[in-house]
Amino acid sequence: MNERLVTLRPRYGEVDSMGVVYHPHYLVYFEVGRTEWMRAAGCAYADLERRGVRLAVVDAAVRYLQPARYDEELRLVTRVTQIGGASVTFSYELRGPAGLLATGHTRLGCLDSDNRPARLPPDARDRLGRGIRPGPLPSESP
């Protein structure tokens, strides 16, 4: 379990007046992919929060290659590509009928319930870290 596919359809309000998905929404889609990745890994984010563990985005990057359009079925692949004692990096590839639409990554830092930096709990680190895929981040390899 390292790669996780979710499908999603851009909603009407996610599309801007150019007829394509408004660029900040890609980060929202990435969060949907990350949420489902974590649920499938037995490490649901809602459960982490209930234990007082938070993951805050500290770095985000997106490369926009082709536009995503309203109501088209998109496929989003999410992977964990780096893990440290207190942070984890997810990488993303978004594809549509016309091929690769965007790549990106987000690095998340672990916080405690007072929003102070903290170590990842060992069980979470273990589940997040299984099967790291070596090689460059997708966003660095067009």
Question: Could you tell me which residues come within 8 angstroms of residue 67 by beta carbon, excluding any fewer than 6 positions away?
Answer: 18, 19, 20, 21, 101
User: Per CB under 8 A, does 40 bind a second copy?
Assistant: no
Among 3, 5, 16, 40, binds a second copy (CB under 8 A): 16
User: Per CB under 8 A, does 18 bind a second copy?
Assistant: yes
- Residue pointed to by tokens 């990096």: 89
User: Per CB under 8 A, does 13 bind a second copy?
Assistant: yes
Q: How many residues contact a second copy, by CB under 8 A?
A: 36
Question: Could you tell me which residues come within 8 angstroms of residue 118 by beta carbon, excluding any fewer than 6 positions away?
Answer: 53, 86, 110, 111, 112
Structure tokens at 84: 């440290």
Q: Which positions are annotated as active-site residues?
A: 16
Structure tokens at 130: 């299984």
Among 3, 5, 42, 59, binds a second copy (CB under 8 A): 59
User: Per CB under 8 A, does 5 bind a second copy?
Assistant: no
Structure tokens at 17: 């007046």
Residues that bind a second copy (CB under 8 A): 11-13, 15-20, 22-25, 27-28, 31-32, 35, 44-46, 54, 56-64, 67, 70-71, 106, 115
